[in-house]
């Protein structure tokens, strides 16, 4: 088993709420940064335009379990693991730990490969071979 891809990100003042801890919704913003960096490091993206068409990986399902509060100035490490690779979808797991190595939260995200349609809708598609190949190496 390989060491998972990970990023670090500091909890900023504006990420906190009046309870003095990172607002629970901001964990999803941190997951998105980790997902984006994970894809970028592999030459992929979460959203792009090609031939005038919008492509991307919108999320269809997300979860987060909170174990310990994250506080202002904490530096969180977010490890990204590819857990599932379906025909059209990608499933990630995100493990948050703080600078003392304490587990903070575990998040999951399922994204589906999609393109924008002419009628301003989105439709899901099979992940193309080129993208699949890159992701398969991460399972």
List, by residue number, the catalytic residues: 17
Binding of a second copy by 33 (CB under 8 A):
yes
User: 5 - beta bridge partners?
Assistant: 80
- With beta carbons less than 8 A apart as the criterion, state whether 5 and 80 touch: yes
Listed in sequence order, the residues at least 6 apart from 129 whose beta carbon sits closer than 8 Å to its beta carbon are none
Joined together, the tokens standing for residue 7 give 């990023």
Q: If you search the block for the tokens 């439709």, which residue do you land on? A: 123
Binding of a second copy by 84 (CB under 8 A):
no
Binding of a second copy by 102 (CB under 8 A):
no
Of the ranges 38-46, 79-87, 89-97, 126-134, which one interacts with a second copy (CB under 8 A)? 38-46
- Closest approach, Cβ 97 to a second copy, in A, equals 17
DSSP 3-state of 101: coil
Binding of a second copy by 72 (CB under 8 A):
yes
Q: Closer to a second copy at the Cβ: 2 or 52?
A: 52
Torsional sign, CA 72, 73, 75, 81: positive
Binding site for a second copy (CB under 8 A): 12-14, 16-21, 23-26, 28-29, 32-33, 36, 40, 45-47, 54, 56, 58-66, 69, 72-73, 120, 122
């Amino acid at each position: 088993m390989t060491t998972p891809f990970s990023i670090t990100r500091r909890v900023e003042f504006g990420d906190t709420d009046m309870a003095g801890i990172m607002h629970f919704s901001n964990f999803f913003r941190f997951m998105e940064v980790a997902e984006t960096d994970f894809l970028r490091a592999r030459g992929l993206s979460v959203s792009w335009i090609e031939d005038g068409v919008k492509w991307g990986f919108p999320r269809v399902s997300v979860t987060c379990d909170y174990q310990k509060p994250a506080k202002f100035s904490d530096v969180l490490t977010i490890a990204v693991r590819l857990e599932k690779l379906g025909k059209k979808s990608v499933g990630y797991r995100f493990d948050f730990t703080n600078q003392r190595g304490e587990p903070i939260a575990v998040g999951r995200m399922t994204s589906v490969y999609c393109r924008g349609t002419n009628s301003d809708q989105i439709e899901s598609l099979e992940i193309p071979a080129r993208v699949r190949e890159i992701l398969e190496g991460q399972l």
